[in-house]
Structures are given as structure tokens and as C-alpha cells.
Amino acid sequence: MKKLIPDCYWPEVSNGEYVSHEAVCVLNTGAAPVTVELTLYFEDREKLGGYQVTIPAERTKHIRLDQLVNVEGTAIPRGTPYAMVIEADQEVAVQYTRVDTTQSQLAIATTIV
């Protein structure tokens, strides 16, 4: 199973007490755990992979992308547009959310893929 999120962006700046961030929420309604792999694609550099998360059976997991590192310890870069491919070994539901606090009027964008 493959899900595509073409418009990702983690702002470099936060304003006030709320931190700008992105999250991917994964819902596994199946009877077995699911391994999810994230691969990032950029306009001006090679792709970044090795981001892996396991979602237990019949559970949801909210993956804060500002806290995620890959197997080499590399965090998702801030202030850089990218696209994300999410692959899982079973069917899951995925929701992407971006919280932008760069201005005093907070902004949130979300989509289900």
C-alpha cells in the first residue's frame, strides 16, 4: 500500500508558545501490526529514506514529523518543501496535518490520503 503527500513543509519559525510542526496520523484497523516507511523527495537534493514506524494492531499512531529521525539519525529538514511517500505492508488510513505558527493567527492544513 502506498500513499502520496506532494505538499509537505515544516516552517523554520514558530511564534509564541505553539510550535510549527507536521504530523502524519496512521490508523491500523487490522488484526496485525503494520510497519510504515516514509521516504522524502526534494526539488534540489536526493531523496531521504529510512523513516520507519510500527503501528500496533487496531490502533492509531500520531507521528510528529518534527520529532522523527531516520535510521541514520537524520531529522526532517525545516524550511524546505518536500513530498512524502508512505508505504505500509498492509492497508492503513493516513491523515497529514501541518500546523503553521509563523504568524500570530495560527494556520492548520489537513488532508486524508
| Tens digit of each residue's pLDDT (9 = 90 or more) over 50-100 | 999 999 999 999 999 989 999 999 999 988 999 999 999 999 999 999 887
> Which among 38, 37, 87, 31 is positioned nearest to 56, based on CA atoms?
31
Distance CA 34, CA 32 (A): 7
Q: Rounded to two decimals, what is the model's pTM?
A: 0.88
pLDDT at residue 102 in the model: 77
Distance CA 48, CA 99 (A): 22
Residue type (1 letter), 10: W
User: Is the model more confident about 81 or about 14?
Assistant: 81
Q: Do 84 and 38 form a contact (C-beta atoms < 8 A)?
A: yes
Distance CA 65, CA 94 (A): 14
Cβ count near 83 (within 10 Å): 15
